[in-house]
Structure 1
Amino acid sequence: MKDKSSILVAELNRKDEKIWSVFYDRFYAALCVYVAKILPVPDAVEDLVQDVFISVWESRRTFTDIKELTNYLYRVCYNNALLYIRNNQIHDSILNSLAKDEDSQDEDMVYVLTVKEEIIRQLYVHIEELPAEQRRIILMRIEGYTWDEIAERLGVSINTVKTQKSRSYKFLREKLGDSFYSILLCLFF
Structure 2
Amino acid sequence: MGHKEKLIIKEVNKKNKSEWSRFYSSYYAALCVYVSKFIEDTDAVEDLVQDIFIKIWESDHLFESHEELTNYLYRACYNNALLYIRDHQIRSSILSVLAKEEDLSVSQDDELYILTVKEEIIRQLYYYIEKLPTEQRRIILLRVEGRSWNEIAEYLGVSINTVKTQKARSYKFLRENLQNSPYIVLLFLFFP
For normalisation by structure 2, the TM-score amounts to 0.45
Report which of the two structures shows the higher radius of gyration computed on alpha carbons. Answer: 2
For normalisation by structure 1, the TM-score amounts to 0.46
